[in-house]
């Protein structure tokens, strides 16, 4: 009886396999379902269904013919050798089916083993097992649900060269809950470390875009494009890297201060070189290079207008840069310019690159902060690099004022200090990147970029400029001739001596306008303040949150979480600003 029972199990299993083969569901079912879900043309869906039907009929015909051939063979044996042959054939079939059933029959499982080991119908599975867009969306839905996060919907996934991209819509909770589970999702989906990237949709709070990187999205990245001497303009944005989406990462340094953060091996020096290579190719900009602890941009050679390595030289250069930044606004009306300096080959912008900023003397740091506060409209700007963003290393106001923030592999605390208290929960996680170690490049050069036109937490990689090519570029640009600082700027900067006059770091008019913009409200979100300022004065039309923060930073007033109508966003409180303003006026 046991043999017959096993034969029944084996026969059932073979019949199920034969049925699945004949129906051809695995070959055509997911394809037809995906075509219907994507809403493609009806003739394509009908064509897929017709192919499915023809395949099923063809397989059924083959199975029936084989069955008839087997039956005819058995009857032939019975006819030739008598009933013994029939019984022997039957016993052989039962033996084969019993052997199959013995391998397929599940053993009795204890209750504790069932909970621990047997997957249920909604058990998540590796993303590598997903071969269609619908399967990838289902895989993500299962993985997110396994982490206890309730979803309203999972949008159709999109295949990317590096993996999958999809979006989920939360039923309740905040995006921070999902962002905090990315490490667990990497395990559930069987992805490499850093393979899950979550980016909340700024236009729809409940929607979070998930990028699942099965492979390095930047594998085989080419070097930065080569630029001839004087072929670029500082007034335009230029490609310096590539985004995870495959689009060029374009940045502008025209009137933009920048901060580059990254630990040893993260790639910040290469980023500084790539940015400086672009600026030195501009016909209307100069590159200044300060580095108190290394060789800075030495590979660019003659392409750098001014290079300083010792502290007295760096301080003197900062003094000169600050003097120009203070002098140029006084020349705007005389030269027929608007509200800011118009950089031209005859009146170039100046971009100061300062590596190892924490190694500067206190006086040099003070001059750098003053330059950041007054240099934007004069087109005398600063791009500084540091290995960490602690308040004593970077300065409390520097990161807040800078409009360009590039973050390579760094610490979690650096994210909060440079980008803001809640940005880590919004998907900005450079602390999950790994710097180069030994011969392994890891994530060197990979970064998050917060700048105009790049406000989403998407991975980027800076295109490198090989040292040999940088030296050649510097030689060619020096041979062509670098732009020279105009006589008007130099003359105005030297009025009253080479040491610049003390500058009031606070924009008093702007502070008064901000206080007036509050009206009767005691707290406002940043975007509401910017809207009211723009309505009050055209001067603020193009102001961003970074520029507002920069105007209030000298008063030690920084954006905080403001709750209005049960929603928390970055904003300001009137009483805090008014108190800081009264204290400042009383001491000045």
Instruction: Give tens-digit pLDDT for 130-164.
Output: 889 899 999 999 999 999 999 999 998 999 999 99
Q: What's domain 127-213's architecture?
A: 2-Layer Sandwich (3.30)
Q: Report the percent of the chain where pLDDT is more than 90.
A: 44
The tokens of 330 are what? Answer: 């006084």
Q: Return the domain boundaries, the chain.
A: 2-116, 127-213, 238-494, 508-587
Would you tell me how many other CB atoms lie within 10 Å of the CB of residue 38?
12
Cα of 586 vs its chain's centroid, Å = 44
**Which band of pLDDT confidence, cut at 50, 70 and 90, is reported for residue 113?**
very low
pLDDT of residue 565: 86
Q: Return d(Cα 317, Cα 325) in angstroms, integer.
A: 12
Our separate counts of H helices and E strands in the chain read: 20, 18
CB 136, CB 158: distance < 8 Å: no
Q: What is the three-class DSSP state of 167?
A: strand
**pLDDT for 205-249, tens place per residue?**
899 999 999 999 998 889 999 999 999 999 999 999 999 988 999
pLDDT of residue 440: 81
The class that CATH gives domain 508-587 is mainly alpha
238-494 CATH, one of 3.30.350.10, 3.40.50.300, 3.30.70.20, 3.40.50.1370: 3.40.50.300
Residue 511: closest CA among 565, 574, 562, 452: 574
CB 384, CB 259: distance < 8 Å: yes
Quick check: do 127-213 and 508-587 share a fold? Answer: no
For 300: left if phi > 0, alpha if psi spans -120 to 50, otherwise beta; the answer is alpha
**pLDDT for 266-291, tens place per residue?**
999 999 999 999 999 999 999 999 99
pLDDT of residue 353: 96
> What mean pLDDT do residues 386-410 have?
75
Provide the 8-state DSSP code for 337: -
């Amino acid at each position: 009886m046991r043999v017959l029972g096993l034969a029944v199990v084996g026969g059932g299993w073979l019949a199920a396999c034969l049925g699945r083969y004949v129906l051809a569901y695995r070959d055509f079912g997911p394809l037809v379902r995906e075509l219907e879900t994507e809403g493609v043309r009806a003739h394509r869906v009908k064509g897929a269904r017709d192919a499915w039907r023809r395949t099923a009929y063809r397989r059924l015909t083959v199975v029936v013919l084989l069955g008839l051939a087997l039956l005819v063979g058995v009857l032939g044996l019975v006819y030739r050798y008598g009933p013994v042959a029939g019984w022997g054939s039957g016993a052989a079939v039962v033996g084969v089916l019993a052997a199959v059933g013995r391998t397929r029959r599940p053993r009795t499982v204890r209750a504790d083993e069932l909970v621990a080991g047997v997957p249920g119908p909604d058990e998540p599975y590796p993303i590598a097992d997903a071969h269609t867009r619908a399967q990838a969306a289902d895989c993500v839905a299962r993985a997110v649900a396994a982490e206890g996060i309730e979803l309203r919907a999972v949008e159709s996934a999109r295949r990317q060269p590096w993996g999958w991209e999809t979006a989920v819509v939360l039923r309740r909770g905040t995006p921070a809950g999902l962002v905090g589970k990315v490490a667990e999702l990497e395990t559930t989906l069987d992805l490499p470390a850093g393979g899950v990237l979550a980016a909340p949709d700024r236009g729809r709070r409940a929607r979070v875009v998930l990028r699942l990187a099965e492979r390095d999205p930047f594998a085989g990245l080419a070097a930065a494009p080569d630029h001839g001497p004087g072929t670029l303009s500082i007034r335009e944005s230029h490609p310096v890297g590539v985004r995870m989406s495959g689009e060029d990462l374009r940045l502008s340094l025209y009137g933009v201060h920048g901060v580059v953060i990254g630990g040893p091996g993260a790639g910040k020096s290469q980023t500084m070189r790539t940015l400086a290579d672009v600026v030195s190719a501009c016909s209307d900009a100069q590159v200044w290079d300060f580095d108190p602890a290394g060789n800075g941009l030495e590979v660019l050679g003659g392409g750098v207008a001014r290079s300083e390595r010792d502290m007295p030289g760096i301080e003197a250069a900062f003094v000169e840069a600050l003097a120009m930044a203070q002098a140029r606004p006084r020349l705007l009306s005389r030269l027929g310019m608007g509200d800011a300096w118009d950089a031209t080959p005859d009146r170039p912008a100046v971009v100061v690159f300062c590596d190892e900023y924490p190694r500067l003397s206190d006086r040099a740091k003070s001059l750098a902060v003053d330059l950041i506060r007054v240099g934007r409209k004069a087109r005398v700007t600063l791009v500084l690099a540091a290995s960490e963003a602690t308040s004593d290393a970077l300065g409390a106001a520097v990161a807040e004022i800078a409009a360009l923030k590039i973050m390579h592999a760094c610490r979690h605390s650096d994210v909060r200090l440079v980008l803001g208290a809640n940005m880590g929960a919004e998907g900005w996680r450079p602390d999950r990147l790994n710097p180069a170690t030994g011969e392994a490049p890891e994530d060197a050069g990979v970064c998050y970029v917060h700048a105009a036109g790049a406000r989403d937490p998407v991975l980027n990689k800076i295109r490198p400029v090989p040292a040999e090519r940088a030296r050649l570029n510097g030689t060619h640009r020096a041979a062509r001739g670098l732009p020279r600082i105009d006589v008007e700027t130099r003359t105005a900067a030297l009025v009253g001596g080479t040491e610049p006059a003390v500058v009031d770091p606070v924009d008093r008019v702007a502070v008064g306008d901000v206080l007036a913009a509050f009206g009767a409200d005691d707290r406002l979100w940043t975007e509401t303040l910017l809207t009211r300022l723009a309505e009050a004065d055209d001067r603020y039309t193009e102001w961003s949150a970074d520029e507002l923060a920069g105007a209030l930073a000298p008063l030690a007033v920084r954006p905080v979480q403001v709750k209005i109508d049960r929603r928390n966003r970055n904003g300001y409180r009137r009483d805090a600003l008014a108190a800081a303003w009264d204290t400042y006026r009383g001491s000045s």
